[in-house]
Amino acid sequence: VIRSKQVIKETSGLNDAVISRSSLSRLISIKLYINGKEVTTYSSDGLIISTPSGSTAHSLSAGGPIVTPDIDAFIITPICPHTLSNRPLVVSGDSKIEMEQVSDSKGVGLTIDGQIYTDIMANDKIRIEKAKEKLQLVETQTRTFYDVIREKLNWRGQPAYNVN
């Protein structure tokens, strides 16, 4: 988080970063840049930036896609956007994402992995990029990603129809 050209908070996350209102439910305006290029300004309840491992959590609930863990990507999902043209966006994991809180709304915050919270003020900038360090995850189960998704989302085979 950058305020008045100074880094005020730096942290790491695994699943997602969410910028949203922490109090009253009102729209906030968030300007999005990718690799230094302006993309759009979202008027929404917030914005979720997730990794593939976070794509099956808050982002999915907000209408974002499920992204398999072997894909190096960030998923940008608006929360209840004010316009139907604001859709989720999947970008390269090498992208440099920057968001700027351009509304003068109070009570806006950034939450990392649902654990780390930082107050965000008007004109604060939030930078998100892939960490230089790699995280080695240990797999202790024999279930595949698709086994977990099938169970988590209660997916079944073909629907059974009663023809009688």
Residues in the chain: 164
3-class DSSP assignment, residue 145? helix
What are the residue boundaries of the structural domains of the chain, listed by start?
2-135
Rg of the Cα atoms in the chain: 18
pLDDT tens, per residue, the chain with 164 residues: 988 889 988 899 999 999 998 766 778 999 999 999 999 999 999 999 999 999 988 999 999 999 999 999 999 999 999 888 889 999 999 999 999 988 877 788 999 999 998 888 889 999 999 988 888 777 777 888 888 888 888 887 666 666 66
State pTM to two decimals: 0.87
CA distances from 64 to 29, 55, 83 (A): 19, 7, 16
Domain boundaries 2-135, CATH class: mainly beta
Q: What angle do CA 61, 63, 64 make, to 5 degrees?
A: 100
